């Protein structure tokens, strides 16, 4: 898996602070930005976060390049609807000799790994055979969820906070959890005050909303359901 933050709103924390200040000021956004130093921005963003007043966070966006992830992951990712996605098409891009993601549970057992790789090889052969007689858009029906893909994803900061809350949780599947952790690391580098409180609710709020599906992590943190 390779994840890169390829672009983001310039000075995102100041933009968020200025957007919020605008609601209570007769001044223009440029004037507000000019008077906001780093200390005021950090303080104001923290106050917004604590109050749950997150609509100003929607004014900044972050674009990610995501490569080498499975189709299983991408189907989960696009469930986060307040985002924009572009994905490599299996209709127009042929997948001969496709690469595939191997789950850790399969990697741990040599016999299971060999069986998995044999199945992938058979599917590669089947796909290649079908390409000789049907369009790629129909041959793709034999491609597995393990087949790798590439995406560009654009989130606003508020949507990212929701994404991190759900997908850094231990209940999230291992692959998308790893993706979320990498994305969180990248945005914290450029906007630490926006994402300092990001993560699963057991960490950020001391509560778990998974009910009977809880991973049990909260107990080790001394929180409550």
Residue 76, annotated as binding a ligand: yes
Kindly name the residue from 21, 49, 71, 167 that is annotated as catalytic.
167
Burial of 57 (0-12, 13-18, 19+ CB in 10 A): buried
Residue 8, annotated as binding a ligand: no
Residue 78, annotated as binding a ligand: yes
Residue 109, annotated as binding a ligand: no
Residue 122, annotated as binding a ligand: no
Whole-angstrom Cα distance, residue 148 to residue 35? 47
Residue 87, annotated as binding a ligand: yes
User: Is-catalytic flag, 217?
Assistant: no
Burial of 86 (0-12, 13-18, 19+ CB in 10 A): exposed
Residue 36, annotated as binding a ligand: no
Residue 140, annotated as binding a ligand: yes
Residue 77, annotated as binding a ligand: yes
Annotated binding site for dUMP, which residues? Answer: 76-79, 87-91, 140, 167
Annotated binding site, which residues? Answer: 55, 76-81, 87-91, 140, 156-158, 162, 167
Annotated binding site for FAD, which residues? Answer: 55, 79-81, 87, 156-158, 162
List the catalytic residues. Answer: 167
């Amino acid at each position: 898996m390779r994840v890169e933050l390829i672009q983001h709103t310039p000075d995102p924390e100041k933009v968020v602070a200025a957007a919020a200040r605008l609601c209570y000021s007769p001044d223009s956004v440029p004037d507000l930005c000019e008077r906001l130093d780093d200390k005021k921005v950090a303080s104001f963003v923290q106050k917004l976060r604590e109050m749950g007043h997150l609509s100003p966070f929607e004014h900044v966006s972050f674009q990610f390049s995501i490569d080498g992830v499975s189709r299983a992951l991408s189907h989960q990712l696009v469930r986060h609807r307040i985002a924009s996605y572009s994905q490599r098409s299996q209709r127009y891009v042929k997948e001969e000799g496709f690469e595939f993601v191997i789950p850790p549970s399969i990697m741990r057992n040599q016999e299971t790994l060999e069986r998995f790789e044999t199945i992938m090889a058979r599917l590669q052969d089947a796909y290649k055979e079908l390409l000789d007689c049907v369009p790629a858009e129909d041959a793709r029906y034999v491609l597995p969820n393990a087949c790798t893909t590439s995406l560009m994803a654009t989130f606003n900061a508020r949507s990212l906070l929701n994404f991190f809350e759900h997908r850094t949780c231990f209940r999230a599947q291992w692959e998308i959890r790893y993706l979320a952790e990498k994305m969180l690391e990248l945005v914290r580098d450029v906007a630490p005050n926006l994402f300092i409180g990001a993560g699963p609710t057991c960490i950020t709020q001391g509560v778990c909303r998974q009910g009977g599906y809880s991973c049990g992590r909260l107990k080790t943190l001394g929180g409550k359901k």
